[in-house]
Chains A and B, each alone.
Chain A
Amino acid sequence: MSDMMKDPMVLRQLIMDHYQYPRNRGLSTDEGYQQIHMDSESCIDDIMVQAKIEDGVLVDIRFDGVACTISTASTSMMGELLKGKKINEAKMVIDEYFKMIENESHDEELLAEAIAFSNVYKQPNRIKCATIGWNAIKTLIDKGDSNEKR
């Protein structure tokens, strides 16, 4: 991990950049996407997350909706980080992200930019915001797994 990623200025810029220019924003009408509406987590955030899974690979991730800075930026980063990964690799990254959010030891290399949220645990009321997109992708992957088993 480069020292740059320990610089609060850099982390702040990263979060702001993902908030102001969210990646993978806008939903697809392609039938190959599974989607989940995350609107019950809190009174406020209301986002839709889509994932296209082909041959065990997260080919694409998309999202849209109304959400705060933390929700938007963390979901945007999630998409960038997991897109193109095999499902089992993505699951490892997701596990590490949740460890980080719980302030447990975690693999910083694997989380890359997403370590910008490593101090969210200090603001417990924002944990839901920092995990809404990650919970969405986790649910979509689990759903894909159980469909396969069936």
Chain B
Amino acid sequence: MFDVNKVRKDFSILNKADQKLIYLDSGATSLKPQCVIDVVSDYYTNYPANIHRGDYDISLKASELYDKARLNIADFINASAAETVFTSGATAALNLVAYQFGMKYVIEGDVILTTESEHASSILPWFLVAKAKKAMIEYIPLTSEGAVSITKFKKAMHERVKIVVTTHVSNVVGYISPIKEMASIAHEHGAYIVVDGAQSVPHMPVDVKELDVDFLAFSGHKMLGPTGVGILYGKKVLLNEMDPLFYGGGSNARFDRCGNLTLKQTPDKFEAGTPAIEGILGLSAAIDYLKQLGMKNVMRHEEELRTYLLEKLAKIDNVIVYNPHTEGGIIALNVKDIFSQDTAAYLNHHHIAVRAGNHCAKILKDVIETTDTIRCSFYIYNTKEEIDEFVSVLQEVTIENCVNLII
């Protein structure tokens, strides 16, 4: 059973007598439970060896746990280990697809179809592909709240589209894109679909087989894991066709002085060099923790918080909500007539952590007609009491009170 008070006990940063924290910025990165910190520390303390390199006990142990971690992480999204490539984060994963798949298959006149709510990491690599290959970027028009509708996607889809690049859950407005239907329509048109799952995999059940996506990228640090680890899921036949971005130790089977090179199979061929071993072990522990809570419960908890916050905000008149029909754990808002960063600084004064700005999705401002917002993003450890306090502080936000902080 999901018990938020029990969950909170696992996050020591939320239980400090001398440091209050209401953390509403999990969309940026999540807090880490003690079990994840312990696994990282255990690796460095007790078996800090490289993987697949040494015929001695601590290296064998590290290798065994590392391989198990990959299976565990793959299983979390219903993929196989061969389809689960470790990268340094979702950004690296999305760049890998763009450079090694996009650059290989996109040709002049092709269209890369994307949305106006993409995060910079999802769309910028494709700008480069489009430029290099003389391909075009087209956008699926969003609804006025910034959501992708299947009707609008169908209309935007056509035979020249080679790649559909889309976020699963928008990091600014939190809408869930209808990925399963989008993938099916993309495939009917002979196109591939690349999904940025950075804001979905941590918060809801994601099954790559069910969605039938070609690629899915996500980061470990947004789902209770350490920073420095990301995942690129790719269909095996596509990964087999892709060349690595980096070459080096661990990714090759053999090479000789004439330059003949035999690469290992996927995923190893993409992972030259020593990986973030402790980060991957930590992510596996984070996944164990999430599995134990149950992703449906995680989703339900965020839903409850969202509904509760939206109901409270509807009753006060100094706050504008930009995504009142959002489905995820992200609320975009502003205090009327107050610049978002001023509001964020005032909230910080009350130990409430939120993000202010355009959240790296710089095209979206034209859709929701505001340049920047306060983003409040929930996770498993947030409570209704925290929301009460958040709303009460929001009601105090005035220019006077914001200016008072600096004089």
Contacts and interface: CB of A to CB of B under 8 A. Distances in A.
A7 B399 CA distance: 18
Contact of B399 (A19, A45, A126): A19
A80 interface: no
Given A43-B357, A44-B372, A8 B341 contact: no
A70 B342 CA distance: 8
Interface in B228-268: none
Contacts of A66: 371-372
B400 A16 contact: yes
B407 A126 contact: no
Contacts, number: 60
Contact of A12 (B338, B341, B400): B400
Contacts of B345: 123, 125-126
Contacts of B371: 46, 66
A115 B339 CA distance: 22
Contact of B406 (A20, A43, A46, A119): A119
A67 B372 CA distance: 10
A130 B372 CA distance: 19
B62 interface: no
Contact of B404 (A12, A70, A120): A12
B357 A16 contact: no
A77 interface: no
A8 to B, nearest CB: 5
Contact of B403 (A12, A46, A67): A12
Contact of A122 (B340, B356, B406): B406
Given A8-B407, A123-B345, A67 B400 contact: no
Contacts of B404: 8, 12
Interface string B387-407: 000000000000110111111
Interface in B358-393: 358, 360, 371-372
A37 to B, nearest CB: 15
A11 B404 CA distance: 9
B356 A123 contact: no
A69 B339 contact: yes
Chain B CB within 10 Å, residue with most, of A12, A16, A66, A117? A12
21 contacts: A15-B407, A16-B399, A19-B399, A20-B399, A42-B341, A43-B360, A44-B356, A44-B372, A66-B371, A68-B339, A68-B341, A68-B342, A69-B339, A69-B399, A70-B406, A117-B406, A119-B407, A120-B406, A123-B345, A123-B405, A129-B341
Given A12-B404, A119-B407, 9 more contacts: A11-B407, A12-B400, A12-B403, A15-B403, A15-B407, A44-B339, A44-B340, A46-B371, A70-B406
